[in-house]
Structures are given as structure tokens and as C-alpha cells.
A = this chain, B = another copy of it.
Amino acid sequence: MEIQKVCILGAGNLGSRVALQSAISGYQVTVYDIDPNAFENAKKTMSKILYQLEKEGIVTKEDSTDSMNRIHFTLDVQEAVNEADIINESVLEDVEIKQKVWTQFGEIAPEKTIFTTNTSYLLPSMFASFTGRPEKFCALHFHDVFYSRVVDIMPHLGTDPTLIPLLEEFGKSLNQVPVLVKKENHGYIFNSMLMAFVGAAGKLLTNDVANISDIDKSWMVNFHMPMGPFGILDSVGLDTAWHVTRNMPDKSSQAFAALLKTYIDAGKLGEKSGEGFYSYPKPSYRDADFLR
């Protein structure tokens, strides 16, 4: 089958990005949300990204206009899935909400429609039976689409294997690097590694082996990267990091979760709240003399 029409469920940050890249790649796109305000934010996100892509010479002004014209925003479920070849779902990271959404769309979507979820920490097997078409259901997990161009393809046990090459091609057509997660794994591939090294950084801190800036400096200088683990945590959000960390049973994860909680209780959620391990908008790790 050939994918021509893409339906995005959830007009949040990630949904907007997947929708925009789909339109840039030439697909017809519908974006569904229950909240009309979400569309305004989505359009702002898309405009900002297009402005940046134009500045970098990746798209022309005309490409931007054409892309936006290929995106249709709708509050109507029927309109959203009409003739859709594939759905990519980025609704709230909540098991019940996702189960409800998949039940609803399982009933009204055309038979041909492939169902994919963009869940970050949940597993496709939690929703497969609700879709009514488990064999056509798979996780298709984007990172940030434009800077981190990886897309994880993670089937559940009941996914039809012929779906995999199709999703790989679809991922490539969206300018992504597709990687296959052969069996269900919390955190896919990259997030598993990210959590491991960020956890090691947390352990160094809670065991008082080194301070925040020296830990970040070690990472930044050795890997020539613009931020270290605590800068990354600030950008992920300390609340999100806490949700993941507190579910890990080992002693050092628990100690780090307890430390994260003290930040959260003080209103320090990272970049989005203006303060986390660093103060924003000008965190010290971006200072020219930080790496001295």
C-alpha cells in the first residue's frame, strides 16, 4: 500500500512536529485534537520551525506555504480519519486516555488505516486489543523530528511483520533514521541509554562524588556536547525525570528521585519553569567560560 494521507491525533508539541514534517514530505495531513486552543499553539510551533528551516535554506518560502496548506486541523473525528492511510497518536501519556482514544478510532477509521502510537514510556501491548486491529498496530516513536531525527519502530507480539518495512519506508520519507526495537522495551533504545547515563550522573551527585557543574563539564568536554546530564534533565523537565526515576527499584535511583522531588517541591522544574539545576534563560553551562 502507498501512504498518502496521514492523521495525527493530538496537536501538542510532538504531534505538531510530526504533522509538519509529514506535510513538508508531501503528505496530506489532518490534525485532530479535542481542544481548539491546541491548534493555535500548534500553528505557532509550526511557523517557528518553518522560519528556522527557511533561514537554514532547507525549505523555501513557497515550500512552507504549500506545507501549511496540506495540513487540515479538525475537531471532528470523522473528518480526521477520512481516507487516512496511517494514524500517529501523540495524546496524553495516560493509559486510560490512550485506550479510550484507540477504542474510538478503532471503530470509525477505515479498514485500511495503519495505527501507530508515539508513546514515550508506555508499551503498544497496553492498547493493542483496544484498537480492534492489533495486527495493524505498532509504536512509531519520534524524538523531536527536526534535531533528533530518529524514529523507533516497536511492534508488539501481535503486530503483522509486513508492517515493519512499510513503517521503515514511511520513516525515511519523513527524513528520519528508522531503528527497529525487536521486542517491547520501556524507553525504546535511546531513552534506555539516556536514563542509564543520567542515572549514573545522579548517583555521582547524591553520593557527593562530584558537583553538578563538574559532572556536566566532564560529559560536555569529553563528548564535545553542548550540555551535560543535568542540563539535559533541565531540558527534559525534572517532573518527567522524577516520574521515570521513582519507578526504578534500585537504591541509587530512589536517592536521585528523592533529590529531584526537593527541586520539584521548590517549583524548580527545569528550563520550562525558569529554574532547575541551572537558572534560565541564561544557564551557566552556556557561558563562554564554563569550560575553563
Contacts and interface: CB of A to CB of B under 8 A. Distances in A.
Interface of A: 143, 148-150, 152, 172, 177, 179-183, 185, 188-190, 192-197, 199-201, 203-204, 207-211, 214-215, 217-219, 221-223, 225, 229, 291-292
Contacts of A207: 185
9 contacts: A150-B221, A150-B222, A177-B291, A179-B210, A179-B217, A182-B209, A189-B209, A189-B210, A193-B218
A189 B177 contact: no
Contacts of A222: 143, 148, 150, 190, 194
B218 A180 contact: no
A143 to B, nearest CB: 6
Contact of A219 (B193, B210, B221): B193
A83 B273 CA distance: 55
Nearest to A183: B209
A209 B184 CA distance: 8
Contact of A172 (B177, B195, B292): B292
B214 A185 contact: no
Given A185-B209, A197-B196, A190 B172 contact: no
Given A185-B204, A229-B193, A214 B179 contact: yes
Contacts of A203: 192
Contacts of A172: 292
A204 B217 contact: no
Contacts of A185: 204, 207, 209
Given A179-B214, A192-B209, A223-B225, 13 more contacts: A150-B217, A177-B217, A177-B291, A179-B218, A182-B208, A182-B211, A185-B207, A185-B209, A192-B204, A193-B197, A196-B199, A196-B200, A225-B225
Contacts of A292: 172, 177
Q: Counting chain B CB atoms within 10 Å of each CB, which of A189, A214, A291 scores highest?
A: A189
